[in-house]
Structure 1
Amino acid sequence: MSDELTLYEAMYIVDVTLEEDEQQETITAVESAIAEAAGQLESTLLFGRRRLAYEIDGRAEGLYMISYFRGTGSTVQHLYREFGVLEAIVRGTVVAANPDALYREPTPVSETPAPAEEVTEQPAPQPAATEPATSEPAAETVAQESAAPAEEATQTPAADDEAQAEESTETEPTEPAQ
């Protein structure tokens, strides 16, 4: 047998009708049960008070908890026995956890660094009244050029592929099949 301990996830629901200190005692009892059975507690997370999908023993809500721990099969068996003994536990289960899919507490927005914003300067538009009459066609060209990127941005990739296919068939002569 291997000496390596398996990572487990214990999800259990604590009775919300209990006082806060009694709920905390129940959570501590679960953590102690893991340690008593030679398990190594990684973390315990509070998922909060939530409505149950269906009533269990007349309870419609529960305090959802998740504990990650490393242990053996006997650690899991001991924890299931503890779930049955503790009256404050409405329901509980233990599964082997995927280390890559562990739940992590979300980082508060204030702690995450904001990405640096790129500032691009755009030239200020020139008033058309100050330009000579000969440059009006150039202004129309600029307006057409600025409208073209907007049209391209609205096309889907499939539309781009169709447009390229049409261009290639229009420019290349086709040879009859022999």
Structure 2
Amino acid sequence: MRKYETIFILHPSLDEEAVKANIEKYKTVIENAGGVVENVDFWGKRKLAYEIEKISEGYYTLINFDSQPQLPEELDRLFRINDSVIRHIIIKEEK
């Protein structure tokens, strides 16, 4: 098992229920794949450093988790096909 962290930004037009549902969805994906979610840090709505497709703010969420090396690839695929996710990044934490 390796340590990873992911930060993703959700579209600002989502309501509170949809934001919580998206966060739960990604937590569930990690747990169902045998990973362990260590921390979920919801930062709320923040201004983006630069506009992305005329969007200037979004909902930021940070998740720290342990998993096998195959899970980040699947998580990346799920982030890419979800239109609610504006940007995302998955980083392997160094020891």
TM-score above 0.5: yes
2:15 equivalent in structure 1: 19
Equivalent residues in 2 for 1:139-150, closer than 5 Å? none
SS of 2:7 mapped into structure 1: strand
1:60 is aligned to 2:56: yes
Amino acid at match of 2:33: A
Superposition RMSD on alpha carbons, in Å? 1.4
SS of 1:48 mapped into structure 2: strand
With over 3 angstroms needed to count, the CA separation of the structure-2 counterparts of 1:36 and 1:25, relative to structure 1, is same
**Higher strand residue share:** 2
Identity %: 26
**Can you give the 5+ residue segments of structure 2 that lack an aligned partner in the other structure?**
none
1:133 equivalent in structure 2: none
What do residues 9-41 of structure 1 show as CA deviations (whole Å, max 9, x unaligned)? 011111121110011111111111212322111
Contact 1:26 1:86 in 2 (8 A): no
**Can you give the 5+ residue segments of structure 1 that lack an aligned partner in the other structure?**
100-178
2:80 equivalent in structure 1: 84
1:49 is aligned to 2:45: yes
- Corresponding residue pairs, total: 95
Whichever of the two has the greater Rg, that structure is: 1
SS of 2:13 mapped into structure 1: coil
Contact 1:34 1:41 in 2 (8 A): yes
1:70 is aligned to 2:70: no
Q: 1:33 aligns with which of 8, 29, 40?
A: 29
SS of 1:73 mapped into structure 2: coil
Relative contact order, higher structure (CA 8 A, sep 6+): 2
Off by >3 Å, runs of 4+ in structure 1: none
